Chains A and B, each alone.
Chain A
Amino acid sequence: QVQLQESGPGLVKPSQTLSLTCTVSGGSISSGSYYWSWIRQPAGKGLEWIGRIYTSGSTNYNPSLKSRVTISVDTSKNQFSLKLSSVTAADTAVYYCASLTITMVRGVRHNWFDPWGQGTLVTVSS
């Protein structure tokens, strides 16, 4: 069973770049069954999709964050990463990595996020 674990600094200064890594265990990140995503959640608020990457390196980003986001994959380490530049206090949140399944069910394309990592809190503050 695939498991995901986020890692990275818990404190980032304003205007700097937030960098997180998600390590995938229990399966290969190169499996064609999954995309790999980042999702964030400010304290006490809802969930915001940041972006996704396929093992080929193909990416899609939330238009609201696109200018500041880069997601990459390292298949040799079974990891994928998030970089968010020019951060402000508004980027303070719990950041989750998640496996995104996109598959055909009874001839119709479906997708869903499962499983998720446990999440990591990133605070933007000087």
Chain B
Amino acid sequence: EIVLTQSPGTLSLSPGERATLSCRASQSVSSSYLAWYQQKPGQAPRLLIYGASSRATGIPDRFSGSGSGTDFTLTISRLEPEDFAVYYCQQYGSSRYTFGQGTKLEIK
């Protein structure tokens, strides 16, 4: 099983600041199988990024993804109030899908 470890667990920032979220895999992951999701309280996760760097339909361009191999990053260039949420990375490998434990992005 490929384990995804996200860091930090909690990130405290102010609106307008830049957020950098990390997702590290226990073994190499195909970039095409790496996705990022946003989840707000009481809601289902929402797809943000697929293929490590492609934005899903309707996702603002302040969200960007990068990385390869075992290290992937989600960057939010300039935080808006609605961006404060929990973010998960997800991969497919060895015939199963796994998620990271999440990074909570909170208002400082």
Q: Which residues of A contact B (CB under 8 A)?
A: 37, 46-49, 60, 62-63, 96, 98, 105, 108-119
Contact = CB atoms under 8 A, between A and B. Distances in A.
Contacts, number: 64
Nearest to B35: A112
B4 to A, nearest CB: 10
Interface of B: 1, 32-33, 35, 37, 43-47, 50-51, 54, 56, 88, 90, 92, 95-102
Given A98-B44, A108-B32, A110-B32, 17 more contacts: A47-B99, A60-B95, A96-B44, A96-B45, A105-B32, A105-B51, A105-B54, A108-B51, A110-B33, A110-B50, A112-B35, A112-B56, A113-B35, A114-B46, A116-B44, A116-B45, A116-B46
Contact of B99 (A46, A110, A117): A46
A114 B96 contact: no
A58 to B, nearest CB: 13
A109 B93 CA distance: 12
A46 B96 contact: no
Contacts of B47: 112-115
Nearest to A62: B96
B35 A49 contact: no
